């Protein structure tokens, strides 16, 4: 059974890859991709079941945070039932999202702002080196260059320094990182393609 899974995975990968270069495999590629999309949607349902199982187990074992797990499960089932009854596009469902999800995540984003400032303040204490100084100096410069002054704006800072740092230094470094990540992704994908790595090798 494990060998069959490996064969299917490798074969599917080669077909999808070939579909980008060989027009003959395009149709098969589309079919396989559609199947992958369907499986991803099904995996979402399985993932939700896994989430229910984890929190139910925490409630059953009376572990720390079990109360919050109970609230989560209640909210999950309630939203699911509402979605089944009203439909996901219903106005009430939209209100539910806007009233719960959006404030929660925006709050986390605000908290992140404080965390980032705190982290930046403690960076030199945690990692006292030249790169940390450069990092902080660049961050402060970009912060200052992104805003305007009450009495006007520093054109040099806003029009030259910030664009240069943003488009040259930052962008160039980011591209290098992204190229490296892309190469790593390529190699990792090929390892899965040739069967060297088998994350699907389960039970």
Region 147-186 residues binding other proteins, contact defined as CB under 8 A: 147-150, 152-153, 155, 158-159, 166-167, 170-171, 173-186
Q: Rounded to an integer, what distance in angstroms lies between the CA atom of residue 191 and that of residue 198?
A: 9
The CB-of-61 to other proteins minimum distance in angstroms stands at 10
The CB-of-145 to other proteins minimum distance in angstroms stands at 9
Q: Which of residues 76-105 bind other proteins (CB under 8 A)?
A: 87-90, 93-94, 97-98, 101-102, 104-105
> Which is nearer to other proteins, 81 or 179 (by Cβ)?
179
Q: Rounded to an integer, what distance in angstroms lies between the CA atom of residue 92 and that of residue 72?
A: 20
Q: How many residues bind other proteins (CB under 8 A)?
A: 108
The tokens of 111 are what?
A: 């908290």
Closest CA to 138 of 146, 128, 148: 146
Among 11, 121, 134, 156, binds other proteins (CB under 8 A): 121
Residue 7 in contact with other proteins, rule: CB under 8 A: no
The CB-of-59 to other proteins minimum distance in angstroms stands at 12
> Which is nearer to other proteins, 81 or 200 (by Cβ)?
200
Rg (CA), the chain: 25
The CB-of-180 to other proteins minimum distance in angstroms stands at 4
Closest CA to 196 of 15, 4, 188: 188
Q: Rounded to an integer, what distance in angstroms lies between the CA atom of residue 25 and that of residue 19?
A: 4
- For residues 149 and 157, the answer to whether their CB atoms sit within 8 Å is no
Q: Which residues contact 86 (CB under 8 A, 6 or more apart)?
A: 92, 93
Q: Which of residues 22-61 bind other proteins (CB under 8 A)?
A: 30, 33-34, 36-37, 39-41, 43-48, 50-51, 53-54, 57
The CB-of-2 to other proteins minimum distance in angstroms stands at 9
Q: Tell the burial category of 139 from Cβ atoms under 10 Å away from its Cβ (0-12, 13-18, 19+).
A: middle
Q: How remote is the C-alpha of 64 from its chain's centroid?
A: 27
Among 75, 85, 156, 190, binds other proteins (CB under 8 A): 190
Residue 64 in contact with other proteins, rule: CB under 8 A: yes
The CB-of-199 to other proteins minimum distance in angstroms stands at 4
């Amino acid at each position: 059974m494990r060998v069959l899974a490996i064969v299917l995975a490798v074969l599917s990968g080669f077909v999808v890859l070939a579909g980008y270069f060989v027009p003959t495999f395009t149709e098969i590629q589309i079919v396989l991709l559609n199947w992958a999309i369907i499986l991803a949607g099904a995996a979402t349902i399985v993932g939700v079941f896994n989430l229910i199982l984890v929190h139910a187990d925490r409630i059953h074992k009376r572990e720390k945070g079990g109360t919050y797990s109970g609230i989560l499960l209640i909210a999950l089932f309630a939203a699911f039932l509402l979605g089944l009854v009203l439909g996901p596009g219903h106005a009430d469902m939209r209100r539910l999202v806007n009233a719960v999800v959006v404030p929660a995540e925006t709050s986390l984003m605000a908290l992140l702002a404080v965390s980032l400032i705190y982290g930046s303040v403690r960076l030199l204490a945690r990692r006292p080196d030249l790169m940390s100084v450069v990092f902080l100096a660049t961050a402060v410069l970009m912060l200052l260059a992104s805003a305007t002054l009450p009495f006007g704006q520093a054109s040099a800072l806003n029009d030259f320094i910030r664009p240069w740092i943003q488009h040259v230094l930052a962008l160039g470094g980011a591209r290098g990182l992204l190229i490296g990540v892309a190469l790593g992704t390529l190699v990792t994908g090929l390892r899965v393609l040739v069967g060297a790595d088998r994350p699907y090798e389960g039970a």
